[in-house]
Structure 1
Amino acid sequence: MLRLIKNDSQHEDTLARIYKLMQLDLQPDTEESDELEILSMLVKKYEDEHYPIPEPTPVEAIKYRMEQMNLTDAELSEILGARSRKSEILSGKRKLSLTMIRALKERLNISADILIQLY
């Protein structure tokens, strides 16, 4: 029986059931595949409420994307306009300008919502 997850014990039980369902070779539009989808939504709701993950700072997002994309410091400097700017931004001494935010959004595909945050 499907129910809302209200505590950590129910959360663990639901995760165990999800794991069991994931071990099966489920076909779409079956009772088990629907159950897996619903349980996943319930877990997401519970985890979003009880274990929220904060948005990264602009600097954390830039560093993460650099690592993901294997970008060099020189490539980031090119995006930001100057080597000294890159250093100042990554150290937190300088804030991003609107031009830099636009370039980072375009070239690194970082959400503008993250880049415009105060940090």
Structure 2
Amino acid sequence: MNWTILKTEEDYTEASERLMDIFHAVPNTAEHDELELLSLLIEDYDKKRYQLPRVDVRDIIKAKMQERGLKNKDLEPIIGSKSYVSSILSGERDITLRMAVKLRDFFNLPSDLFLQAQS
């Protein structure tokens, strides 16, 4: 089949079903090329139609703190003084690049979370 940009849910369903049929295609074959094309078309359709909600990195940090049983004072070595930690977590101050790196490493978070917060 000659695939084009997916415009309808029917197109999307058809492409998804075909992708599953050829999922284990052997590299360097026409089927594998079709698989790669379908992957791109499906990804494009998903991005245009299904927006994931933005997550506030502060909420993620608070959830990680709760998960680990941490208090605000436990972040003082990473962020700074008690009042600074409080103002960061409340949203009164922005997370700096230096803090983002330290928080990313401390909580093992993806860097994208911090980039998303800035856009």
Letter in 1 for 2:92: R
Letter in 1 for 2:115: D
Q: In 2, distance between residues paired with 1:80 and 1:54?
A: 27
Equivalenced residue count is 109
Note the 1:99-118 alignment, pairs <5 A. Answer: 101-108=97-104, 110-111=111-112, 112-117=114-119
Note the 1:40-55 alignment, pairs <5 A. Answer: 40-55=39-54
Match of 2:107 in 1: none
Please report the RMSD computed on the Cα atoms of aligned residues, expressed in angstroms: 3.0
Per-residue deviation, 1:56? 2.6
Q: In 2, distance between residues paired with 1:38 and 1:61?
A: 35
Per-residue deviation, 1:88? 4.9
Q: Given the superposition, is the C-alpha separation of residues 103 and 50 from structure 1 closer, same or farther in structure 2, using an over 3 Å criterion?
A: same
Q: Which has the higher contact order (CA 8 A, sep 6+)?
A: 1
Letter in 2 for 1:18: L
CA contact (8 A) 1:61 1:110 kept: no
Q: Given the superposition, is the C-alpha separation of residues 37 and 97 from structure 1 closer, same or farther in structure 2, using an over 3 Å criterion?
A: closer
TM-score normalised to the size of structure 2? 0.66
Per-residue deviation, 1:95? 2.3
Match of 1:56 in 2: 55
Note the 1:83-98 alignment, pairs <5 A. Answer: 85-86=84-85, 88-90=87-89, 92-98=90-96
Unaligned regions of 5+ residues in structure 1, if any? none
Match of 2:35 in 1: 36
Q: In 1, distance between residues paired with 2:85 and 2:52?
A: 27
Match of 1:73 in 2: 70
Percent of aligned pairs with the same amino acid: 24
CA contact (8 A) 1:18 1:36 kept: yes
Q: In 1, distance between residues paired with 2:55 and 2:81?
A: 24
Per-residue deviation, 1:62? 3.5
Per-residue deviation, residues 27-85 of structure 1 (Å, max 9, x unmatched): 21111111111001001111111112244323245457x48xx8663664432224564
